[in-house]
Every structure is written in structure tokens, then in C-alpha cells.
Amino acid sequence: MLENTAVISNGVGLHARPAARLVETAMRFKSDVILLHGGMTINAKSAFSVLSGNVRGGSEVVVRVEGSDEEEAMAAVMACLRNLPNE
């Protein structure tokens, strides 16, 4: 299991298009991808879960990845979170 901390880089947070981009990225991997934010556990492979997490721009989240391709998944998810669109 890998864990890393990320700050949501865009102004709108994980809403609509940014959330969809994160889910698309996480779905490319076999590993489980979880975000921890505000006492919530958010499944990054579920658009409903990501949108329900109410993660705003500038928020800090813990990214937890576990599985056979966890290193690649963590790198891709962290890159995605650093480059989210402001849409």
C-alpha cells in the first residue's frame, strides 16, 4: 500500500469535469484508489463517491493506493490531481 498527500490544485475542486478526469485516471489501473478527506473515505473509481466527497479547491487529501500496479497508479493519480482543469 502506498500513501501520499496532495493539494487539489484547481479552484473548483473535484466537481464535474475534474472529478470525471480523476475517475478516468483511476479506472485505468487494477489497484484500489482511495482519497481520504474530511473524515470521509472516497473511492476514486466512483464518480458518485468523488462528487459526494465535496472536495474543494485548495483542500488537502490523502491518496491511498493498493494493488498490483500501485506505483504506476499512484504516479498517474498524483499527476492528475496536480493538473486538474478549472472547469
Residues classed as catalytic: 15
The one-letter code for the residue type at 41 is T
Alpha-carbon distance of 54 to 65, in angstroms, equals: 20
Q: 16-27 and 70-82 helices cross at what angle (nearest 10)?
A: 160
CA atoms within 13 Å, Cβ hemisphere of 58? 1
